[in-house]
Amino acid sequence: MSNKKTEKTYGENKMGVMPEGRLLASMAVPMMISMLFQAFYNIVDSVFVSNISENALNAVSLAFPLQNLMIAFGGGTAVGINALLSRSLGAKKQEDADRAANTGIFMSLCCAVAFALIGIFLSRPFFLAQTDVEEIVNYGVDYASICLGASVGIFSQFCFERLLQSTGRTSLAMVTQIIGAVTNIILDPILIFGLIGFPKLEVAGAAVATVAGQILAAIAAIIMNIKFNPEIHISLKKIRWHTPTVRAIYKVGFPSIVMQSIGSVMTFAMNKILISFTTTATAVFGAYFKLQSFIFMPVFGLNNGMVPIISYNFGAKKADRVKRTVKITIFVSITIMLIGAIIFETIPNVLLSFFKASETMLAIGVPALRIIAIHFALAGFCIIAGSVCQAIGNPFYSLIVSVCRQLLVLLPAAWLLSKTNRLELVWFAFPIAELFSLILSSVFLKLTMKSANKKMALTNE
């Protein structure tokens, strides 16, 4: 249903009145599709790079913590913008909504400048801290310095796509992500292998293709906001620092940034543990992260579709709509993750074959994928539970869960299991950590929903 038809039919923003299941589908399905495209082009990078050498694949894998840190700041800032903007619209506070959008744009640009400097000056020390294999270091520096040096594309893409999502225009956000993904997929083989007259850039070519797709997607998102998003008023004069708005954005966004940044710390430390066995183990770990994105990305898309619905209806004091949306989202998330677990358990060798896996890589990777996939269904619940806490004002619950899961359970468990000198046991750290996360997430979700219901009931009275 188009936005125009929706508004005509329901008389107000669809997030406040459309049936929850249908609303979630209209919001989340486009995001899930666009996330699948993102997962596809992420894996295409590694598939093409693996055709160069295993060291090239290792370089891209070892770059993941830096990329993840960048995504953490971009995504966390966007989450804060999304929640604040949706809540302001739900409460009919247009001025606050506009200020959230314009201040959010400013903060995204600040993040882009910071990460460009990190990419240019710190890429080589980062790789040297992980390995002394010269080829891996050189490939890694080429890749990371370009991806971070031109980070204005990904930060702008995050920000302007979330502005579209915040007002329910998820189909337009999907189009921008598809534009970026298709651009990357087309340019990857051309720039990596030097086709149709272009120079052969190898790993650097994968980075150039990535940032080109991000920049093009960002431009498309900016144009669509200007032309098709009348609920938000973007003004160059208002794209500046505003302390109360920055504080409100990062009240929600900061825990998300920390949570995903912790993921970078975890990945960096896991790579250090795994590389002590063999560099092939880090290649397997990198391949796993690319493969699991096909399962997790649709759940994140579902999650992104849920957040503005919950924020809007919490702001509008519609408790029943909040509760039903949470239940539907959790059910769909767990279903998706169970399907993913079945795939990983039944055909891990086929999945690894996309990366030109050697016999050694298959011997390590097949049991690794099967063991890690045990935790998928639990993760589906935990992802949604954490975002519900963020969307309605308890973001630090999610932060506590993430810190405990990755730093206090997963890494110590992996380190202790590595002392057995049996690599296959190290992978059990993932399901162990997720079980702990499930317990905490269940408690925090119950507390959050109870508190939210009290606030909405008091206001309605």
Q: What is the pLDDT along the chain (461 residues), one digit of tens a residue?
A: 344 444 444 445 666 667 778 888 888 887 788 778 777 777 888 889 988 988 998 898 888 889 889 988 998 898 888 888 877 877 777 888 888 889 999 999 999 999 999 999 999 999 998 888 899 999 999 999 999 999 999 999 999 988 887 777 878 888 898 899 889 989 999 999 999 989 999 999 999 999 999 999 999 999 999 999 888 888 888 889 988 889 988 888 887 788 778 888 898 999 999 999 998 999 899 899 889 988 998 898 888 788 888 878 887 778 888 888 889 999 999 999 999 999 999 999 999 998 888 899 999 999 999 999 999 999 999 999 988 887 776 777 888 888 899 999 999 999 999 999 999 999 999 999 999 999 999 999 988 888 878 877 765 55
- Judge contact between 410 and 354, C-beta under 8 A: no
With beta carbons less than 8 A apart as the criterion, state whether 282 and 270 touch.
no
First vs last C-alpha separation in the chain: 34
Contact indicator for 142, 125 with CB cutoff of 8 Å: no
Residue-level pLDDT at 8: 43
Half-sphere exposure of 277 (CA within 13 A, CB side): 26
CB atoms within 10 A of CB 166: 32
Contacts of 48 (CB under 8 A, 6+ apart): 188, 189, 192, 193, 206
pLDDT of amino acid 126: 93
CA-based nearest residue to 207, from 186, 191, 228, 223: 191
Do you know the residue count of the chain?
Answer: 461
Backbone conformation region of residue 234, classed left if phi is above 0, alpha if psi is from -120 to 50, else beta:
beta
Contact between residue 329 and residue 384 where contact means Cβ atoms under 8 Å apart: yes
Q: What's the rounded Cα separation, in Å, for the pair 83 and 81?
A: 6
Task: Calculate the CA 122 to chain-centre distance.
Answer: 23
d(CA 352, CA 312) in angstroms, rounded, equals 42
The HSE-up count of residue 155 (CA atoms within 13 Å, CB side) is: 23
- pTM assigned to the model: 0.76
Residue 276 tokens, joined: 């002590």
